[in-house]
Structure formats: C-alpha cells, structure tokens
Structure 1
Amino acid sequence: MNFKMTEKGFSSEVEFGNLQVSGDEQHGFRPYQLMVASIAVCSGGVLRKILEKKRLEIEDIQIEANAQRNEAEANRIERIHVHFTIKGKNLKEESMKKAMELTRKNCSMVRSVEDSIEIKETFEIVE
C-alpha cells in the first residue's frame, strides 16, 4: 500500500476505493479504528466460513468491538473485546465454542497481534 500525505492525514488508493486515514475522525478513519475493525471483521469472516462449512443455519452475525487504550503509553491498544451475536436455528453452545476456538486459531489479524494485544472473544446465540 502506498500512502500520500493530505492536508489532514494520509490517503491510499486501494481496490475498493480511496482510504482516508487521519488522527482526526472528521477527516478519515483513525488508525486505532482500523486496527479494531481489522481484528473484528477478520474474526467475523473466519467465523462465518467455519459456520457455513459446518452447514449451520446462520441468518446474521453482529459484531461489537471495544478497545481499551492506555493513555500513559501513547494511547496504546491493550485489550479488544469482540462480542458476536449470532442469529440462527438449532445452534448449540458447545458447537459455537468450538467454532470460536477455530476462529481465533485461523484469524490472521488476531494471530498478528496476539502477543501484544489481549483479545477477548465472546458470543451469544439468538434464535
């Protein structure tokens, strides 16, 4: 990826379009937002594939991701809690626990930061 300086941040042309990144969310995505989004959506995508391979009836997956940052250390992200709300039919708690373990093992973004950011994943099943 190539980034060019703009008046209020940096931009990059990616396949999907123009990515604006700035420390001021009035002018683009903040870097920590992109980090949290990458971890949450990577996990969600992997979880979705796993559930599809298991042929489970999934109607929807909602993801809530919250980051805890340390102001004393340059606002470093210390923890991210990723909570999945999975809507489907005949979903079993034990099957979901196994799917979550596989998700963590196969999400490249989680694996990339696992030694520096604490990632907590939880889920709830909604019929």
Structure 2
Amino acid sequence: MEFTYYNGKLIGQMEYGFLPISPNTEMGYRPMELFVSSLTGCSTSVLANILVKKRIDYKRIDVHVSAARNPEEANRIEQMTFHVRVQTDTADNAVQAEKLAGLVLKNCGMIQSVIGSINIQYQVAFTPDQPKKGDVA
C-alpha cells in the first residue's frame, strides 16, 4: 500500500482504487469510519462464510455498529457493539446465534487484532425473510 499526504488529506493507492482519508468529511473518509468499516467488513465476511459452512441460507446481513470513545485518552475507542441481523427463513435460535457470534469473534483477524484493548460485543439475531412488495403471502 502506498499513501501520499497533500492538501489536508491522505490518499491511499489500493488495489481497488484510491482511498481519500481526512478528518474533514468533505475531503475524505474519517479514520474512525475506516476503522469501524474494517472491523465490520472482516467480521461480516467471516459470519457469511460460517453461515455457508453451517448451511444456513440467508438473504442479507445488516449490521449496526456503535462505538464509545474516551475524550480523556486521545478520544480512543474503548467499546464497540455490533448488532447483526441475519435475514433468513431459519427459525430464531438464540443459542445458535450466540455460538455464531463467538465464532466470528474468534476467527475475525481484525477484531482479534484489537480485542485486548477494545471491549467488543458482537450480537447476532435472526430475522424473518421479508417478502418483496407485490409478493403474495
């Protein structure tokens, strides 16, 4: 990876393309957004792979992430909570959802890189597959 800083922003040259980074949201992605996106991208990919291996069919995965920062300590992230909804026809099974969450935490390299310094909560819930508009129930 290559990075260049000029005109108040950092530009990363990645395989996929250019990545503008700046604390100014009008000039690029904020470092906090990239950090959260990194953990979310890794953990969601791991979850999707686990669902396939367990033969749990799903339509989509929605993730809401909240983070708590400590302004007394350079505004560092101290806690993150991932609320994950797996849209599926599989019956809601709290025990299975908890096992999936544990497997994601154990197998996501990005989360494992920071789990010692950030309190991470990962919660999985199954939601029913929603019929599309116009579908007959």
- SS, match of residue 58 in structure 1: coil
- Aligned match of 1:126: 127
Unaligned runs of 5+ in 2: 129-137
- Aligned match of 1:79: 79
Cα distance in 2 for partners of 1:7, 1:24 equals 11
Q: How many residues align?
A: 127
Is 2:46 the partner of 1:34?
no
Q: Residues 79 and 119 of structure 2 are in contact (CA less than 8 Å); yes or no, is this contact kept in structure 1?
A: yes
Q: Residues 78 and 118 of structure 2 are in contact (CA less than 8 Å); yes or no, is this contact kept in structure 1?
A: yes
Instruction: Report the AA paired with residue 96 of structure 1.
Output: A
Shift of 1:124: 2.0
Percent identical among aligned pairs is 34
TM-score calculated relative to the size of structure 2: 0.88
- Aligned match of 1:6: 6
Cα distance in 1 for partners of 2:76, 2:84 equals 24
- SS, match of residue 57 in structure 1: coil
> Within 5 Å, which residues of 2 pair with 1:64-75?
64-75=64-75
Shift of 1:96: 1.9
- Aligned match of 1:108: 109
Runs of 4+ deviating beyond 3 Å: none
- Aligned match of 2:90: 90
TM-score calculated relative to the size of structure 1: 0.94
Q: CA RMSD in A?
A: 1.1
Shift of 1:93: 2.4
